Structure 1
């Protein structure tokens, strides 16, 4: 029998260079495509929390009557059938606490430092870093409700609703 001579095991210089090139291309692709997605994931979370805040405020406002002078049960708009005219200056009545807001114009000027309903906490306590601004237009027939939520990275997301005097 003839002895088989064993060859030394290892990589050639060309194989090493090709391997480093493949690794370099893979790292560049990861660095430009995959890693920046982590920043975008935070933006998505901010938008979801903004939607949660904006919708909860809008739903609370939507559940209130149109105006102090409108029929509390609906059906009779203010300024008709002997009811006084609608309020012309939106905002809470003097001395009215947050829990007493009973119509949509009371919410005009609400912001992140306003107390939450039935709570001693503010919106800033629950949503740190988020901004909140609510405006309610004045009108006898319709009012535009605008809720603007600003995310911690500065993106402003606006929610609009129109309420009619009915």
Structure 2
């Protein structure tokens, strides 16, 4: 004859304390992961802004360097005599953006919305700002023994939507 076992079967599962501990541990781990993701997503636009700032600076620099050295430059080119180069008052001389014809005219651009060569706002660059300074700087290039009126330095500062600034410089020679 068979004997019946009167012991209770073992229960399986987790206690309430074990469940609470598991929830706390998973919660702490998720908080760390979410914090890392928020840091990464906060900086995800930086490379895009840097690339766009470089492209914008290149656009302006190409346009400026294609212009005449000075207001008194000849149409076909040629060196402007140092006595005729005005290093004291660069600026647009009342010209509109579409009429900028020499390097000095761009000195008037300060904290402006980027525009194309005709003065129209560039699409997609609404939150960028650009500032340009132009100065006579032949003395900066000492190896070539240039007079101050033989070179102009063009400094472009781009400010992106996150207020990071990027600076670019080039020289335009008097030839």
TM range (shorter): 0.7 to 0.9
TM-score by length of 2: 0.71
Structure 1 unmatched runs, 5+: none
Offset at residue 7 of structure 1 (A): 6.0
Distance 2:114 2:55 in 1: 17
Structure 2 unmatched runs, 5+: 1-7, 137-147
TM-score by length of 1: 0.75
RMSD: 3.1
Offset at residue 44 of structure 1 (A): 3.1
Offset at residue 47 of structure 1 (A): 2.6
Structure 2 vs 1, CA of residues 91 and 102 (structure 1 numbering), >3 Å: closer, same or farther? same
Residue of structure 2 in register with 1:49 after alignment: 52
Q: How many residue pairs align between the two structures?
A: 158
- Helix, strand or coil for the counterpart of 2:168? strand
Q: Kindly provide the CA deviation profile for residues 98-141 of structure 1, in whole angstroms up to 9, marking residues without a partner as x.
A: 2221211111111425753235x235x75222221111113411
Residue of structure 1 in register with 2:159 after alignment: 150
Residue of structure 1 in register with 2:131 after alignment: 133
Aligned pairs (5 A) from 1:6-25: 10-13=13-16, 15-17=18-20, 19-25=22-28
Structure 2 vs 1, CA of residues 134 and 46 (structure 1 numbering), >3 Å: closer, same or farther? same
Q: Kindly provide the CA deviation profile for residues 9-29 of structure 1, in whole angstroms up to 9, marking residues without a partner as x.
A: 533446525532441342132
Structure 2 vs 1, CA of residues 51 and 6 (structure 1 numbering), >3 Å: closer, same or farther? farther
Kindly indicate whether the alpha-carbon contact (under 8 Å) linking 1:69 and 1:86 is maintained by their aligned counterparts in 2. Answer: yes
